[in-house]
Amino acid sequence: MHARTLPVLATIGTTLLAAAQTPGGGAAPPASATAAPVDLNVSRVAIFTSGVAFFEREARVTGDATAELSFRTEQIPDMIKSMVVQDLGGGRIGAISYASKDPIERTLKSFAVDLTSNPTLGALLNQLRGEEVEIKGATSADGVIVGVEAETIVTPDGKVLQEIEKLTLLTARGLQHIKLADVQSIRLTNDKIDAELRKALATLAGLHDVDRKAVRLAFSGQSERTVRVSYLLEAPIWKTSYRLVLGEKESKPFMQGWATVENATESDWNNVRLALVSGRPISFRMDLYTPLYVPRPLETLEIYRSLRAPSYAGGFEVYDTATNAAEERAGRGRGTMKALPPAEPPMIMQRGGMAGEGALAEEPQMGLALRDAGVASAATGGEVGELFQYVIDAPVSIPRQSSAMIPIVNQEIDATKVSIFNPATHAKFPLNGLELKNTTGLSLMQGPVTVFDGNVYAGDAKLPDLKPDERRLVAYALDLAAEVLIKQQPQPDEIVSLAIRKGVLVHRHRQLDQREYEIKNKADADKVLIIEQPYSDDWKLLEPKEAYERAPGLLRFKVSAPAGKQVAQVVRLERTIEQSLGLSDSAFDTIQYYLRARVISPKVREALERVVALRTELDAAVRARGELEKRRDEATTEQARIRENLKTLDRSTDAYQRQLRRFDEVDEQIVSLKGEIDAARAAEAQKRQALEQYLLGLEVE
């Protein structure tokens, strides 16, 4: 297989080359029996922040060669998914072999002796019926196994004492029973069956060492050449931490960034080319190691089949459709890793100490100046597609299961001291912070920042992912030298407009949010304060005219506070909201409130007055009907009282006659009121219909 050198990043995502092709298209032959073993040493590593790393191993070989790599069992699927093998000097690659991971039950059942169910000696001998064996023990014999049977020994009262297994053996003298408890050794005289039993036991023993699997590679060729293998494995992500020293007014802050790299593999990294890649490429696990078996149906010849009743699925109507589709295909070039010139090994800080070349300066500098302090960035940054990588300029050595810190940033950066106030963080004091701009030219990965000010520790901050020239606020301490008092006065809503749409009064209101921030600077130096105020898109900023900065859900305002002075910043926001009011059942007081609004138009006023008039007529009709119904109810009650009185009086008395006449009068009154109530209800319905018809046709601005 002829191949050119592939950069580490360009090989990601390629598939396993299980059988390489020759230039003529034929499969490469396996390496000869005299192939020399070769060690493939780690030469290049790319670590990603998505939890994977791409490893490259290479060696110089002459003629045929073989190599063996060792992986943990859980790493085999990633190896199968991503391995790329190259023979770069005209050689050819043979098959890549590794131990199978067939289910153990299936493997054990493939042997002549089945150990799947953990058989006892008796069960095992029953499987070997018909095989010749040599028995040694209290009774020695040679013969053919007939079978094993259990003999139960019971007491006279029927209680089981024990079961004794006896082997029945066909010997030269005939059938012979031998107690298995008396047998010391059994030898199978059939070498083939004996070998099958040993293989089955070896398979079981292999389960005790399932943590590691060997992967064997074969290279065939004549000349001296380079062979290379690359693969993707799960790995700890690389992490960043920063140190930021705030300089005096005449100098810029200085940032030093360190990458923490962990070699969690079983191999030492000796003079390895290292690339640290930020970004989140999609990476997933897939089990390509466990064999998959597809269930197959059992078919019989037609002559042996019985006729069965068929079943049919429901049908769908067929529609003739014509579709035209246009495909757009776009290709993106793979990112490449540039060739790195030889360089001196960088200083590497390992856990537990500091290692590097060069002698200490005779006069150590005082303070925490990071500039010219003997640390230089060991990385060169660059974009690779949508990712960003730090290529470590010099080879790195990290022992297995060890970690190292590598400097990747060591330069000035734009950062301005500010105080950041957000009442949700602290109601009284702002935070000491920095308005930081990434002027390093590098993509800075998120991580903690230790801030030093005046040669002393000032606090910790969290740096988010920052692209070049991106700005961000970071805070590292509570600023006790400044206080902020918020004065917020509620403002009444102001009606902006009124309109009527189908009986609904639509009124728009202007809401005002006014806050005054009183800032007291108790320090002997001027301060710049950034105020954060919650904000949503339905609000409009009135004062000041412009915000210093907008962020999701926030407005930021920058205020200068002279030393020892007190200043104020007023922030006024307004928004307009729309609400609706049903005119058919609203209280008169509410309607009168909107009639007094200054923004009401003559047409809306006229319509509301007409609504009030119709509502007044309707309310009068409702009251009139109510009065009549009240009088009817009183008359009905009076009539019931008279009826009870008549029951107690003698019919021949004058009192009875008077009560009877009164009963007739009330009855006539009830009949009359019933007619008046019906007329009142009709009038009320007419008034209600008139109001509803007027409202439904009302569209007034």
Strand order in the sheet with 141-154: 174-179, 160-171, 141-154, 132-137, 183-188
Give residue 572's pLDDT.
Answer: 93
Which residue is associated with the tokens 């800075």?
444
Is the pLDDT reported for residue 110 higher than 50?
Answer: yes
**C-alpha 222: how far from its chain's center?**
51
Higher pLDDT, 598 or 297: 598
Say which DSSP state 33 is in.
T
Is residue 266's pLDDT more than 90?
no
Residue 38, pLDDT > 60, answer yes
Q: How many CB atoms lie within 10 A of CB 191?
A: 8
**Whether the Cβ atoms of residue 164 and residue 186 lie closer than 8 Å to each other:** no
User: H/E element holding 685?
Assistant: helix 654-696
Q: Which residue has the higher pLDDT, 152 or 517?
A: 517
State whether CATH 1.10.10.10 applies to domain 114-154+162-203: no
Residue 496's region, left for phi above 0, alpha for psi from -120 to 50, else beta, is alpha
Structure tokens at 27: 């499969």
Kind plus residue range of the DSSP H or E element containing 270:
strand 269-278
Distance CA 509, CA 499 (A): 12
Tokens 């700005």 sit on residue = 471
Q: Is the pTM of this model over 0.75?
A: no
d(CA 323, CA 304): 48
**Across 180-184, 319-323, 385-389, least confident range:** 319-323
In the prediction, which pLDDT does 489 show? Answer: 79
Please determine, for residue 31, whether its predicted confidence score (pLDDT) is greater than 50. no
Residue 247: which of 434, 53, 39 has the closest Cα? 434
Instruction: Check residues 477 and 118 and name the one with the higher pLDDT.
Output: 477
Lowest mean pLDDT among 159-163, 463-467, 613-617: 159-163
Query: β-strand 527-534 against 414-421: which pairing, if any?
Result: parallel
* Sequence-ordered alpha helix ranges (H) in 67-134: 76-82, 104-109, 121-127
CA triple 455-456-457, angle to 5 deg: 135
65 to 29, 91, 215: CA distances (angstroms):
13, 10, 14
Which one, of 45, 98, 107, lies nearest residue 288 by Cα? 98
CB 205 within 8 A of CB 213: no
**DSSP category for residue 21:** B
| Segments making up each domain of the chain, as ranges | 114-154+162-203, 481-577, 590-700
Residues 206-245: pLDDT tens digits? 665 556 778 888 888 888 889 999 998 888 888 899 999 9
Please state, in angstroms and as integers, the Cα–Cα distance from residue 434 to each residue in 346, 408, 442, 481, 682, following that order. Answer: 31, 22, 19, 16, 78
Q: What is the pLDDT of residue 208?
A: 57
**Residue 44, pLDDT above cutoff 50:** yes
Q: What is the pLDDT of residue 698?
A: 83
CA distance 275 to 46: 5
Query: By C-alpha distance, which of 164, 162, 166, 165 is closest to 177?
Result: 166
pLDDT at 350: 36
What is the pLDDT, as a whole number, of residue 369?
59
Structural tokens at position 570: 């007023």
Average pLDDT rounded to a whole number, residues 164-180: 86
Residue 353 CA, chain-centre distance (Å), reads 37
CA distances from 27 to 20, 92, 264, 553, 682 (A): 6, 9, 36, 63, 102
Rounded to a whole number of angstroms, the CA Rg of the chain reads: 48
Residue 104's pLDDT is 62
How many Å apart are CA 171 and CA 541, to the nearest integer? 108
Q: What is the mean pLDDT of the chain?
A: 78
Distance CA 176, CA 141 (A): 9
For residue 658, what are the CA distances in angstroms to 151, 612, 634, 661, 667? 121, 50, 20, 5, 14
Q: What tokens were used for 208?
A: 């005790």
| Single-letter residue type at 612 | V
In this predicted structure, what is the pLDDT of residue 496? 86
What whole-number distance in Å separates Cα of residue 447 and Cα of residue 474? Answer: 12
Measure the CA–CA gap between 494 and 510, rounded to whole angstroms: 5
Residue 646: which H helix or E strand, with range? helix 602-648
DSSP for 437-505 reads E--SSS-BPPEEEEEEETTEEEEEEEE--B-TT-EEEEEEEE-TTEEEEEEE-----EEEEEEEETTEE
Q: Sign of the CA dihedral 287, 291, 295, 296?
A: positive
In three-state secondary structure terms, 390 is strand
- CATH code at 481-577: 2.60.40
Report residue 550: phi and psi, to 5°: -110, 135
Quick: pLDDT tens for 380-429: 666 655 677 888 888 889 998 888 888 888 888 999 999 999 999 899 99
Mean pLDDT across 547-556: 90
Token pair, residue 555, equals 């407005």
Q: What pLDDT is attached to residue 430?
A: 93
Query: What SS3 class is residue 65?
Result: strand
Q: Which two tokens stand for residue 277?
A: 């890649």
Is the predicted pLDDT of residue 362 greater than 50, yes or no?
no
For the chain, give the percent of residues with pLDDT over 70.
77
Over the stretch 498-508, which tens digit does the pLDDT of each residue have? 888 888 889 88
Of 6-20, 268-282, 419-433, 663-677, minimum mean pLDDT range? 6-20
